[in-house]
Amino acid sequence: MVRSGSGSNGGHDLRAGGRLSVREEEAAFLVVREEDPDDWLARFEKDGDFPAREWAENMARVYNRRLARRPTGPPTPPGTRPASYHPEP
C-alpha cells in the first residue's frame, strides 16, 4: 500500500529545494525531506511481497537526481529575447 501527501508538510513547498531521503519504521518506509525527517511525503507500507524499500528509495533517488540537474539561473538571461519570440501585433 502506498500513501502520498499525508505527511505533516507544514506548508513547505517541495519545489523550493531540499533533498529527499528514506526513513524506515516498523510498518513502512517513509520518503522524507532531509532537513525535516519528521515531515514525510510518501509512505510505502511493508505489506507482503510489495517492494516498499525499493519504491521509497527510487522515489528519493529520482527526485534528488532531478534536483541536482535543475538549472540555478533563469532559462533566458534578463533583457534577452529568445530567437523564437514573436509578439502579437
**C-alpha cell recorded at residue 17:** 529545494
Residue 89, pLDDT score: 64
pLDDT digits (tens, 9 = 90+) for 12-55: 554 556 899 999 999 999 999 999 999 899 999 999 999 999 99
Q: Which residues contact 53 (CB under 8 A, 6 or more apart)?
A: 22, 24, 29, 44
pTM above 0.75, yes or no: no
